[in-house]
Structure 1
């Protein structure tokens, strides 16, 4: 509780500084200034998820939309069918540049702030992510796209609802975006948009790095850099564990 209170007080101080800076800005300065409470999140063996505090200030009243993107990569989605009582993979579709994580928050419902074509342009909302296929499109590619989104949402990697951006007065804002325990590592981007009169008038991108640390990180790096050796060690450890368990039960 003390740590959370301290972070909130620090955020308010930074927000006050942002407001002062915006008030004294030249004509070409930005209309929105934002930051996060930490730019590096360390994942240890007891990591159970964490909130990212995003805060900032605007020069004049408006609405704020935030989108957090995880590292992108190719993802293959399979369609399984039951054949002779066994589930087998049949059709498969590969999507390129799929974000491994996607979270979103706004000060008001998205449909009240921007027109559908603007929401599509900025990919604001899980249903508006441009998940493009690699190679020839399958006739039922929309079903594969929906299955991919559902799977990511079940793993808490894609937002199933829009979070809330809260304003403190007319110019200061803050929001929390939740990172689950299964969040991938890598470089994340948080995009903060200022919307007025149905248009995006300014934006800022904030980097965030999520990295494994400690003994778990050492094992992870060893497994990725020495796949064969890691497999051999894993088998030996499993055999030793089984042998020790056998000895213990024999003595009983």
Structure 2
């Protein structure tokens, strides 16, 4: 998906678990923008282009990329160390509970995709975080999990300071004043008193740095310690 506004000249790409739902909700509440495509596109019984989490390449494959030509391309970004923990908590808690909710998005997926998604959630439910990370990261030569969303983008909104980054973008785009980004659809809610750092061992930290080296090169403002405010200009323009 791109959430686009021709009036204000931007296309927002919703990278999962980066605060994209909150950005879209704020824009919708302000009466700005629309989804492209308006609904999921299926091909051969499988999801081909999502109405929410699609990349620029997905739009090109579907013949929809002309609609975002010339628009400022915006995407969210998040520290991978925290992103992996959020995915683990989401898959082993909230999403697993959604399997029994017939109104959840899971049951709106094409049958082939739905069966595979549920099977994956049930497999993850029995894993420790170390086992989950080994499956996602350790078994691969290298990783760039959000690269498909973040390539060829013009503006990056950091999840850790989403409202502040959005205000900078909104001012440049000429959006109406007063649009605030508030938490919405938060995935992977942390246990009280814990942070993502509590889930890692030194070995797991080293594995993420090694396997996800492309990400940390693209966004040097991120490390295991979090977001370095002094490095922000590299990724906000």
| TM-score normalised per structure 1 | 0.23
Higher helix share: 2
Of the two, which has the highest radius of gyration? 1
Please state which structure has a larger fraction of its residues in strand: 1
TM-score (norm 2): 0.24
